Amino acid sequence: MRLNNFISSTGLCSRRLADEFIKQGKVKLNGNIAIIGQTVCLEDQVEVNGQLLKQKEIYVYLVLNKPTGITCTTERHIKGNIIDYVNYSERIFPIGRLDKDSEGLILLTNDGSIVNKILRSNNKHEKEYVVTVNKAITPSFIDDMSKGVKIYNPVRNEYTLTKQCKIVKIDKKSFEITLSQGLNRQIRRMCTCLGYNVVKLKRIRIMNIALHDLPVGKWRILTEEEVSSLIQS
């Protein structure tokens, strides 16, 4: 990063004023008087008028179109973990999960403050999926899925009724489903309870963030508008 950009990023002043400070000899880089155009690395020390500057933490927000076979974990010893797959230059972690056998949209960040906002079920954030099952979809299947399905929770040894959801048939064996909750392997368990097996499951949207034409296996940085939506969620 250029020196004037670094000074500006700390909130001390504008880039233009930073250049003036540099010209006036008021800026030191690693103890030496700085000059216009120098670059700054993470380990460098920058002083302005004797004040040591610290760069504000820069948050990273990514969206990955996760392929099947990748596990949403930060445990690096697990083969096919999402962190090694993305191979981003800074420490990041996935927000929530997407089954190893599923593909589609997963968010990654280093901003721990937004995780609960997105995952908290009370916020009713929508997640949209395209699902293919092993046999023909009936009207009763659509109706039952949309009203809620009792799925078994082995940890508590009890059944949980899933919340009502939006479901639209695409073709003979495929449908779109929009959930506002995120129980573990929820869609697969709902389908199993109704006598269906999921053949393919792809998440295509979380809130206002959609995959659109992002290829499988690729990631991109969120736009300012998308980040703003997450932070305000």
Rounded to whole angstroms, how far apart are CA atoms 101 and 103? 7
Bridge partners (DSSP) of residue 224 are none
Q: Decide whether 57-123+212-233 matches 126-206 in CATH topology.
A: yes
Report residue 136 as tokens.
């023909």
Which amino acid type is present at position 135? Answer: K
Catalytic residue IDs: 99
pLDDT of 155 above 80: no
Between the CA atoms of 101, 103, 105 and 107, what dihedral angle is there, to the nearest 10 degrees?
40
**Domain 3-52 CATH superfamily:** RNA-binding S4 domain (3.10.290.10)
- The separation between the first and the last C-alpha atoms of the chain, rounded to the nearest angstrom, is 31
Residue 138: φ, ψ to 5°: -105, 160
Lowest-confidence segment of 52-61, 90-99, 127-136, 141-150 by average pLDDT? 52-61
Q: What is the mean pLDDT of residues 105-110?
A: 95
- Helix, strand, or coil (residue 106): strand
Choices 3.40.50.300, 3.90.600.10, 3.90.1150.10, 3.30.70.580: CATH for 57-123+212-233? 3.30.70.580
- Going through 136-184 in order, the beta strands assigned E by DSSP cover 150-153, 158-161, 166-169, 174-179
pLDDT of 136 above 70: yes
- Helix, strand, or coil (residue 61): strand
CATH class entry, domain 126-206:
alpha beta
Confidence of residue 6 (pLDDT cuts 50, 70, 90): confident
Model pTM score: 0.76
pLDDT of 42 above 80: no
